[in-house]
Amino acid sequence: MTQRVAVLGLGAMGLPMATWLSKSFEVSGYDLFDQRRQLAAEAGVETVTTARDAVEGADAVLIAVRNRAQLEDVLYGAAGVVTAMKQGAVVILTSTVGVDAVMEVAARLADDGIGMVDAPVSGGPVRAGEGDLLVTCGAYPDVYAAALPVLEAMAGNLVLVGDEPGKGQAMKTVNQLLCGVHIAAAGEALALAGKLGLDQRKALDALMSGAAESFMLGNRGPRAIEAYEGGNPEVASRVDIFVKDMGIVTSAAKSVGLSVPLAAAAEQLYVLGLAQGRGADDDSTIINVVRGEGK
């Protein structure tokens, strides 16, 4: 029975996941930045000053990092937590890093006696803090069973999409295609509403009551309007995350010979936003990339 969980990465998603899991498990949290560790401590999560200390004695190690490079670094690089993990422990990867990366890392972990659950999450920070995420998993049956208590605590909807690591990433790639396109479409629609002289908030309310309603429109819409009006909305999901994710989407599509013109167009908006210096801004600010005004 899983009792102790280490959470590596206390960012926008890692912190609320750690906070929620601490209600049911012994949680030890680590982040590279002092400020994030302080926020976790204030939320009641036990924190430590090294990743190796966090994983010592842990049954499950939940990793919430930004990309493949960070994943490989925390496991085998400077942090090197693999050598501090106990045999039979399970890594739960909640990040979107791509199918190939997960398959390669999972094989390496297996050689070290550690299982991996490929468990990318979707739903945003609020749902992460309520244990209400969509968690799509790919894992070998025995590894999945060992991690199940933690996965069930994290998820409002837990879906096992395949019996090996990589399948969770494949499902998340499909998910991010839609999310990336929907955010871009929401930005276009609300920018058009503004240019046509409509009250954008009334337009958003109307759209959310009809057939054009979507989660991304409702979630990003208010922050997009704030950005359009010259504000700096709270960062819940960064532009550069979708540069990465849409790159994963278009690369995956190319690898199977599938044309994804809508995803490719959305990817270019995020890339342009990055070029404009918006990489660390909330992805709702894509509305200002659409309207053609520099930062």
Q: Which residues are catalytic?
A: 172
Name beta bridge partners: 157: 134
Give the Cα separation of 203 and 188 in Å (integer). 13
Say if residues 282 and 234 touch (Cβ distance below 8 Å): yes
Say if residues 278 and 235 touch (Cβ distance below 8 Å): no
Residue 71: closest CA among 55, 86, 54, 93: 93
Place of tokens 């982040």: 31
Q: Which residues contact 199 (CB under 8 A, 6 or more apart)?
A: none
Angle at 166 between CA 65 and CA 71, to 5 degrees: 20
In the DSSP assignment, the letter for residue 295 is -
Give the Cα separation of 285 and 193 in Å (integer). 15
216 CB neighbour count, 10 Å cutoff: 20
In terms of Cβ atoms closer than 10 Å to its own Cβ (0-12, 13-18, 19+), residue 200 is: buried
The tokens for 64 are 């919430």
Place of tokens 């998910």: 175
